[in-house]
């Protein structure tokens, strides 16, 4: 199955079960939203999870482009991405969580051909505020799927306040040999799908109140699912990333981890710049700036003559995205040069303290992390 087949199979499955396809929202939430980027499929649906009637009904399905900066430090491993697509399904006060788990398992097994022995699930074991999710535990047991209870790992919220609830996560065995251990004890169990019982709302005071309706919100990372179905070791070896890894590995000689980071960050930058966000020192622009500068830091560590200008149109198009990338490259290059000049002065020999870092930042525009990198 290529990526398009996977998307079609997912959407068809839910449409056959009465779900309306809603178009994905912009990666950039409206200004009234405190969040910089859409981080999950449920995010734009928040008012409907809180009870506002959705114009397309109570059963919905879609593919939503997401961006998560919370996972930035994990980029470079086999499964995390900054920008990714999320396959999502919702019951807005319609069917219950057990039905969602049953359909989820049916789709994985019959639609995607995933064998039962490669599946393990986790459910919420309860904490001081909310009791254990026995309904999900019973459902999985009836389905004959091994299940583990956890506390903190099986609670989902999109922020400190707002809709939240216990979740049940589905893991896939990615190891070479037969499955071993459990999701919390062996990282070769990789989470592929999260079914959230979105039934509570956390208030400013930390308390929990029932939502006006009991919902189900599910989300499954498309690239990760595809890597599993295509028997690939990582998301970077799937058809989604084929052009990126092929072109970049020919262009620049990089170790495997660096290549993954460069692929992820460049692709994410191209997507975000394409949405009209330019590198800057605040907000969304700062996210793009960090992504591009991290790429350049990796590239120049190996060879300072490397340039984003070497990227072919196949990856960055021929329009303004390339111009934005090159402008940022120029700016970062000049900053590094200035930094080297300043840091070669005698007063900056030895270990620098907070005061020196502040001075370098305020007077020369040199961020601390850059200075640390230059000193290294
Ligand atoms: N909101 C959940 C998640 O993002 C399920 O969609 O994982």
What is the model's pLDDT at position 282?
92
Mean pLDDT of 246-273: 96
**Taking 90 as the threshold, does the pLDDT of residue 103 lie above it?**
yes
pTM comes to 0.91
Nearest CA to ligand 1 atom 2: 219
Best residue for ligand 1 mutational test, from 66, 166, 171, 217 (most atoms within 8 Å of Cβ): 217
Q: What is the DSSP string of 13-39?
A: HHHHTTPEE-PPPPSS--TTSS-SS--
Report the nearest-CA residue for atom 6 of ligand 1.
Answer: 219
At 199-216, the pLDDT tens digits run: 999 999 999 999 999 999
What is the model's pLDDT at position 32? 85
CB neighbour burial string for 221-259, b if at least 16 within 10 angstroms, e if fewer: bbbbbbbbbeebebbbbbbbbeebbebbeeebebeeebb
What was the pLDDT predicted at 373?
A: 80
Q: Which residues are paired to 97 by β-bridges?
A: none
Contact 75, 39 (CB under 8 A): no
- Residue 37 CA to ligand 1 centre (angstroms): 15
CA of 41 to the centre of ligand 1 (A): 7
Task: Return the pLDDT at 350.
Answer: 84
Return the percentage of the chain with pLDDT > 90, whole number. Answer: 81
What's the rounded Cα separation, in Å, for the pair 15 and 1? 20
Question: Which residues does 223 contact at the CB level (< 8 Å), separation at least 6?
Answer: 3, 81, 84, 85, 235, 238, 240, 241
């Amino acid at each position: 199955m290529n990526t398009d087949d996977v998307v079609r199979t997912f959407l068809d499955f839910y449409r056959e079960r009465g779900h309306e396809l809603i178009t994905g929202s912009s990666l950039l939430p409206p200004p009234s939203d405190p969040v910089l980027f859409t981080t999950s499929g449920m995010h734009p649906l928040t008012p409907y999870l809180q009870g506002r009637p959705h114009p397309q009904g109570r059963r919905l399905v879609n593919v939503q482009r997401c961006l998560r900066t919370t996972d930035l430090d994990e980029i470079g491993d086999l499964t995390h991405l900054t920008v990714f697509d999320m396959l999502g399904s919702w019951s807005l006060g319609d069917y219950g969580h057990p039905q969602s788990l049953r359909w989820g398992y049916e789709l994985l097994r019959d639609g995607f051909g995933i064998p039962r022995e490669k599946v393990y699930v986790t459910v919420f074991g309860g904490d001081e505020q909310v009791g254990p999710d026995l309904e999900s535990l019973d459902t999985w047991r009836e389905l004959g799927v091994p299940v583990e209870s956890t506390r903190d790992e099986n609670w989902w919220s999109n922020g400190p306040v707002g809709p939240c609830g216990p979740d049940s996560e589905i893991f896939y065995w990615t190891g070479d040999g037969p499955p071993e251990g459990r999701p919390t004890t062996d990282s070769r169990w990789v989470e592929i799908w999260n079914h959230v019982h979105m039934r509570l709302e956390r208030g400013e005071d930390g308390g929990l109140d029932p939502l006006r309706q009991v919902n189900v919100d599910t989300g499954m990372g498309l690239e990760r699912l595809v890597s599993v179905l295509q028997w690939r070791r990582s998301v970077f070896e799937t058809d989604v990333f084929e052009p990126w890894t092929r072109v970049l590995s020919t262009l620049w000689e990089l170790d495997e981890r660096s290549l993954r980071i460069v692929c992820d960050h460049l692709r994410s930058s191209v997507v975000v710049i394409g949405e009209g966000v330019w590198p800057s020192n605040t907000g969304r622009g700062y996210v793009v700036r960090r992504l591009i500068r991290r790429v350049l830091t990796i590239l120049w560590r190996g060879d300072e003559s490397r340039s984003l200008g070497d990227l072919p149109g196949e990856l960055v198009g021929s329009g303004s995205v390339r111009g934005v990338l090159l402008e940022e490259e120029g700016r970062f290059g000049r900053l590094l040069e200035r930094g080297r000049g300043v840091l070669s002065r005698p007063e900056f020999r030895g270990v620098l303290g907070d005061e020196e870092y502040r001075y370098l930042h305020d007077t020369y525009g040199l961020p601390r992390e850059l200075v640390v990198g230059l000193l290294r």
